Structure 1
Amino acid sequence: MNSLKQFHTFQLNHYANDVVKITSEDDFKALVGQILNKDFVLVGSGSNTLFLENLAIPLYVNEYLGKTLFEDNDFYYIDVNSGENWHSLVSWSLENEVYGLENLALIPGTVGAAPIQNIGAYGVEVNQFIDSVVYIDLVSGEINSLTNLECNFGYRDSIFKHELATNSIILTVRFKLPKEWSPVLEYGELKNLECPTPISIFNEVCSIRNSKLPDPMIIGNAGSFFKNPIITKLELNRVTELFPSLPSYPLKDGTFKIAAGWLIDKAGLKGKEFGNVRVNPKQALVLTNHNGEAQGQDVVLAANKIIDTVYSTFGIKLEPEVRFFNKDKEVTLADYYAS
């Protein structure tokens, strides 16, 4: 039996029979004919994955590495294999004077997970810089490429969560970054930067995240546990009548993104413990395996209590950002709780 603690950053105390590392395209081709998240599970760093039980199906760990930088008159392009560490890519791009990804520093995970989740932070989403995504079709064995538009990116969403969720694996992501750089300073402490440079933004983002977020190497966690809710203007007006200080950010479609961490905090849950799971006292959007002994039932208890309390307080239903697995498949919280 292999402990799953080392393969997902929340470090739940469960086990797997079979763990296999993937290092080449041929390793991915060997999975053709199988169904992702049914016949096997694939993880990168496991930063967005929680194993709620012992895993009965094989676990594959993506260590497919490599990146290539090239350019034309207006853009830099970076082809990056899916097993590369995301933060390492951001650091590497800045070292090579390729700018644009600095707001996304210190987001845990691998490059292959970035398009699936459409990761974002501090006013930037990764889809703004994705030119195309190459994936392997697990049914046909073909290697296909999708343009940015074909990926159907949305808030923490993409085609890889829907039509391609169980029959594809991302191999390579091509990033396209303009040579004419402009800073994004819309959020939080970044507004206070004077004469911002890509490096100063990177350093500030790292400083902010390190001050608020626990290091998963020290305290098990999965980063942001819940999505920031998207609500209508009518809903926003209803909530701000009672809670005028609610942080909100207007989106292009007329809806508003609000801060899930603020909702959890104001609902009185910051620092609360549910079994072996704790709401982080510095950033309520983060749940932690604070004593290293948490199991799936602790996470389910904590998550459902938070969802119910926030809903009863604000009338807003939180949705988890992390993905849950029972012994043999991906599940929702509702599925697991009912089983």
Structure 2
Amino acid sequence: MKDLKDYSLLKHNTFGIDAKCRRFIEYTSVEEARQAAAMLTDEDRPLLILGGGSNLLLTDDYKGTVLHSGINYLKQIDEERVKCGSGYDWDRFIDYCVTHQLYGAENLSIIPGEVGASAVQNIGAYGVEAKDLIEEIEAVEIATGNIRVFRNEECEYSYRQSKFKKEWRDRYLITSVTYRLSKNYAPKLDYGNIRSALAAKGIENPTATELRKTIIEIRNAKLPDPKELGNAGSFFMNPIVSKAKYDELAAQYANMPHYTIDTDHEKIPAGWMIEQCGWKGKSLGNAGVYEKQALVLVNLGGASGSDIVRLCEAVQKDVKEKFGIEIYPEVNVR
């Protein structure tokens, strides 16, 4: 177990913000997670349970204790179930699934981060969400050190939300996640530009390997490499609006993209609205809106967390004024 003081989080956040935390604890087993929970006192608060830092914006040095899982394993339980330690790399899990003919996760390829965060954030892309795959989560309750097992339905998953982000926040150290895949391949190709990207390569019925490769190519073409340009991927959640609000905007913007949620709600891409407001490729100081994808805010070099927040608020203000819609960060701002 690591237990360090005044620890730099530069390598633990993809925005490239050089902030420190007062204490950093990394556990590599369930027993160490229980020991870490027992070590914590009131002086350690506030707590920050950190995954790969790909969904985090630090606005200052963290005055409390950061806890990170180093539990790093993958185990196939049976024909369709895979159990991963919470510190296991997410895309390594996807790669394993595709390689071993376990289907359903292909569209979530190359999302940065660790397995534990998938159960908190309910990550998603191209019409698939982690909740579609998660069967159960094992965690250590910080207050008691007890091991808890949560079924999918207990977590109350919704768009980028779970009870781990709300009432269970900072109460549990996730130690593993069990996923149920399928041996029957039923690719989802109708979200975004998947079909057109496949068609450009002359592929009509892709294998899982071809679909994964195409998803990776699409993401790499529009998302910057955090090693070259600090970012946390999609910064804003796509807003879900009423059918009445959608109809009002559709009358003004004939080509407005949208995705039907149900008979009463539509999802409108936040990136499209940001681009309509003229922000794509623009910047405020050292913080900018990525030139290839307006949903992504980037550290152009030397930006502080406060710089990113100031840009975020300016973008939110313009979208609200133009469309009458509030957009909210997907990123955890701390």
Task: State whether TM-score is above 0.5.
Answer: yes
Which one of the candidate residues 180, 183, 187 is aligned to 2:187? 183
Distance (whole Å) between structure 2 residues aligned to residue 41 and residue 188 of structure 1 = 34
What is residue 201 of structure 2 aligned with on the other side?
A: none
Q: Deviations over 1:1-30 (max 9, x none)?
A: 433221100011322343332212122112
Per the TM alignment, residue 58 of structure 1 is displaced from its structure 2 partner at its CA by: 2.5
2:93 to 85, 89, 103: 89
Determine if the alignment matches structure 1 residue 107 to structure 2 residue 111. yes
Which secondary structure state, in structure 2, belongs to the residue aligned with residue 16 of structure 1? strand
More moved, 136-145 vs 15-24:
15-24
Conserved in 2, the CA contact under 8 Å of 1:35 and 1:138? no
Q: Work out the CA distance in 2 between the residues paired with 1:321 and 1:181.
A: 30
Residue identity in the other structure for 1:154: S
For the 8 Å contact 2:13–2:53, the answer to whether it is kept is yes
- Pairing partner for 1:28 from 33, 36, 40: 33
Change (3 A) 1:35 1:123: farther
Q: Alpha-carbon deviation of 1:253?
A: 5.8
Q: Find out whether 1:4 has 2:13 as its counterpart.
A: no
Deviation at 1:159, TM superposition (A): 1.3
Which of 207, 220, 225 does residue 235 from structure 2 map onto? 225
Q: Which residue of 2 aligns with 1:51?
A: 58
5+ residue gaps in structure 2?
1-5, 199-203
Corresponding residue for residue 288 of structure 2: 278
Secondary structure in 2 aligned to 1:170?
strand
Partner amino acid for 2:255?
S
Distance 1:224 1:206 in 2: 15
Shift of 1:35: 8.3
TM-score, normalised by the number of residues in structure 1: 0.90
Shift of 1:157: 0.7
Give yes or no for contact 1:212–1:283 (8 Å, CA) kept in 2: yes
- The separation in 2 between residues aligned to 1:45 and 1:32, in whole angstroms, is 20
Between the aligned partners of 1:243 and 1:31, the Cα distance in structure 2 is 53
Pick the aligned partner of 2:77 from 63, 70, 75: 70
CA distance in 1, matches of 2:264, 2:81: 32
Quote the Cα distance in structure 2 between the aligned partners of 1:54 and 1:141. Answer: 28
Amino acid at match of 1:113: A
Matches for 1:230-245 after TM superposition, within 5 Å: 230-245=240-255
Q: Call closer, same or farther: CA 1:156–1:174 in 2, change over 3 Å.
A: same
Shift of 1:139: 1.7
Deviates more, 1:202-211 or 1:37-46: 37-46
Q: Name the SS for the 1:32 alignment partner.
A: helix
Count the aligned residue pairs. 321
CA, structure 1 residues 263+77, in 2 after alignment: closer, same or farther (shift >3 Å)? same
Residue identity in the other structure for 1:295: S
For 1:109-148, list aligned pairs within 5 A. 109-148=113-152
Q: What amino acid does structure 2 have at the position aligned with 1:20?
A: I
CA distance in 2, matches of 1:238, 1:35: 53
Unaligned runs of 5+ residues in structure 1 are 326-339
> What displacement does 1:112 show?
0.2
Aligned-residue offset at 1:40: 2.7
User: C-alpha distance in 2, partners of 1:179/1:14?
Assistant: 44
Distance apart, 1:45 and its partner CA: 1.0
Which residue does the alignment assign to 1:266? 276
SS state at 1:18 partner: strand
Larger deviation: 305-314 or 95-104? 95-104
Could you tell me which amino acid in structure 2 is paired with residue 54 of structure 1? D
Cα distance in 1, alignment partners of residues 305 and 205 from structure 2? 47
**Contact 1:86 1:111 (8 Å CA) reproduced:** yes
Q: Does the 8 A contact of 1:40 with 1:59 survive in 2?
A: yes
Matched, 1:174 2:178: yes
Percent identity between the two aligned chains: 34
Give the Å deviation of 1:249: 0.4
Match of 1:163? 167
